[in-house]
Amino acid sequence: MFYTFFLLTALGSSLVLGFSYTTIYMKENCDRTASLGSSGYIEWERNDRYYDHRADCSVILKTGISSERIALQFIDIDIEENGQSYCYDYLYLYEGAVSSFDRTAHTKAICNSQRIVDYTSSTSAVTLRLVTDSSTRGSFKILYTTYMDAVGSGCYGGRYLCSNYRCIHSELKCDRMDNCGDASDEPDDCRTGYPLSRCANEDYVDSSRLCNGAADCSDGSDEWTNSWALCPAQEMRGSCASLVTLQPGTSGYIVYSRHVPYSRGTDCTVQYNTQSGYVIRLESWDVSGMDYNCHGSLFLCNGITGSCDSWENDFSLCHTSPDDTSYVTSGEELTVRLASDWSTSGNFKIFYKIEQGGTSGSSTVVTVVVVILVVILVIAVSVYCCGKKSRSEQSNTVEDEAVQWPGETPRDNIHLHPTTIVHTDRPRSLGTPTIERVPPQPSPRQYSYPSAPPQSSDSIVPPSVRVEPPTPSTSTGEPPTPPPSYDQALWMPTEPPSSARQS
């Protein structure tokens, strides 16, 4: 506290301190008239924010100048209701100074199920009356601002001209309060040079913590969208059935409206998008102002769709939804739909933040297609290579399994072939071999086999020719006996050599 006081004293700027807002407490002014200044608050009691049981208290709020009007912003409303359109406790609002009450003559009857965001009087006085039962206590906080209508294109008396042609007191400019009602008294250049910011309850917080989605002020005023902090707000009202673009790196709140609650039977769908490569994060939502029985709901859908409802939504919110969860889109697009029945009206507030981490819808589709094609190609190459390797190993195994007869050289062996040639013109008594004996190929020093003479197709027995095995050459130098012909070799005796029989 001492550090805060020292820093504020050193700065010595009235802009840092801002306008000093006083509070009018209804309990202290029951059945009285309270004079209004430039701006301030209205609450129930000084030491206890909750109103009493069985209370019936009325206060007339009156400006000092008859030509002034009163703008009321209902910042916080927690007044008991039965969960539908009926209120157990009431905050009645009457136009003008009223002292004799008739329940049918009120201008507004306010509770949780009949919320109000702001109200502008048509005269220089309004009357508030609180009536409660004996069951549940509640609270409220109202910001009031007195103003005059602009004359022509300007204001007199040193007042500040708002964009909506209201003339407010000049000391209200740049005090972080939305006194104009359209925030035109708080332009962007008012936000520079504030190391500390004052909360609505006169506390102070670091200016960098304003509008960050978390309540740093004890009264939560650093996250208000309809007054004081003036957090950026995207209003669904006026944007129904349209596309709203959110810039990367920005944040703020999605609300139905900063100034009025949604009406009964509202059905509003807004589509949001941002730059490719970014996502939309939603968190820190306040849906306490919606229907108590969840007859009104918010539906969130990933991407752009026109039928975001209770069947197709990815996430839904209503009065009972917790405020400590979050929802993040997979890409740069989001659809929000508000659907309310005909029982109650209300409002809501959802914090949004645009951050990196997403891919565009078209990029996502292309990425998925490329991944699928790569997987198919890898599988095809693997199958081809494995099949080729299997065939190669099978071929090598067949070639390695050669049969070598006694007395033959390794190259004069018999090979196993996957498919053998069976001669069907051989006598069945000799048997049908399943292995073909391939004669060795002659070397340049050997005789070549002559062509076999043609045989008659109806003869199944070869000519009776005595086939003698080739005799080796002798030392006398005589030429060796020529080998038998191809067909004669086929019908040679199949008995193994004598050396094999002896063994």
Q: Are residues 23 and 166 in the same domain?
A: yes
Compute φ and ψ for 15, nearest 5 degrees: -70, -35
Residue ranges making up the domain that contains 42? 19-173
In a domain, 396, yes or no: no
User: DSSP alpha helices (H): ranges in 333-470?
Assistant: 361-400
What CATH number does the domain containing 49 carry? 2.60.120.290
Interatomic CA distance for residues 27 and 25, integer angstroms? 6
Contact at 8 Å (CB) between 262 and 289?
Answer: no
Q: Are residues 284 and 358 in the same domain?
A: yes
Compute φ and ψ for 78, nearest 5 degrees: -140, 75
Contact at 8 Å (CB) between 436 and 420?
Answer: yes
In 155-274, the DSSP E strands lie at: 160-161, 166-168, 196-198, 204-206, 233-235, 242-245, 251-255, 267-273
Q: Are residues 300 and 161 in the same domain?
A: no
Contact at 8 Å (CB) between 112 and 135?
Answer: no
In a domain, 410, yes or no: no
| Percent of the chain as helix, strand, coil, to the nearest 5 | 15, 25, 55
Q: Which of 404, 464, 412 is nearest to 442 (CA)?
A: 412
In a domain, 157, yes or no: yes
Q: For residue 151, how many other CB atoms are within 10 A of its CB? A: 11
Q: Which of 28, 103, 30, 118 is nearest to 73 (CA)?
A: 118
Q: Are residues 157 and 269 in the same domain?
A: no
In a domain, 418, yes or no: no
Contact at 8 Å (CB) between 297 and 269?
Answer: no
User: Per-residue pLDDT tens for 41-91?
Assistant: 999 999 888 999 999 999 999 999 999 999 999 988 889 987 666 789 999
pLDDT at site 161: 95
Q: What is the CA radius of gyration of the chain?
A: 49
Which residue type is seen at 244? V
Q: Are residues 261 and 163 in the same domain?
A: no
Helix (H) and strand (E) counts for the chain? 5, 24
Contact at 8 Å (CB) between 60 and 97?
Answer: yes
Which residue type is seen at 427? P
Q: Give the count of domains, the chain.
A: 2
Among 322, 338, 363, which residue terminates a domain? 363
In a domain, 488, yes or no: no
Interatomic CA distance for residues 118 and 144, integer angstroms? 10
* Token code pair at residue 349: 């507030």
Among 363, 391, 412, which residue terminates a domain? 363
Contact at 8 Å (CB) between 67 and 49?
Answer: no
In a domain, 285, yes or no: yes
* Token code pair at residue 188: 């962007």
Among 320, 342, 363, which residue terminates a domain? 363
In a domain, 91, yes or no: yes
In a domain, 497, yes or no: no
Interatomic CA distance for residues 187 and 175, integer angstroms? 11
The tens-digit pLDDT sequence of the chain (503 residues) is 333 333 333 333 333 345 788 999 999 999 999 999 999 999 999 988 899 999 999 999 999 999 999 999 998 888 998 766 678 999 999 999 998 887 668 899 998 878 788 899 999 999 999 999 998 999 999 999 999 999 887 898 889 999 999 999 999 998 888 899 888 998 877 766 667 777 877 788 888 888 999 999 888 888 988 877 788 899 999 999 999 999 999 999 999 988 788 888 899 999 999 999 999 999 988 888 887 778 889 999 999 988 898 888 888 998 888 887 889 999 999 999 999 887 777 889 999 999 998 554 445 555 666 788 888 888 887 777 776 666 665 555 545 544 454 555 555 444 444 444 444 444 444 444 555 555 555 555 444 445 555 555 554 545 554 555 555 554 455 566 677 776 676 666 655 555 554 54
Q: Are residues 240 and 160 in the same domain?
A: no
N residues, the chain: 503
Q: Are residues 169 and 23 in the same domain?
A: yes
Sign of CA dihedral 308, 310, 311, 316: positive
- Give residues with Cβ within 8 angstroms of 174, minimum separation 6: 15, 18, 185, 186, 187, 190
Which residue type is seen at 236? M
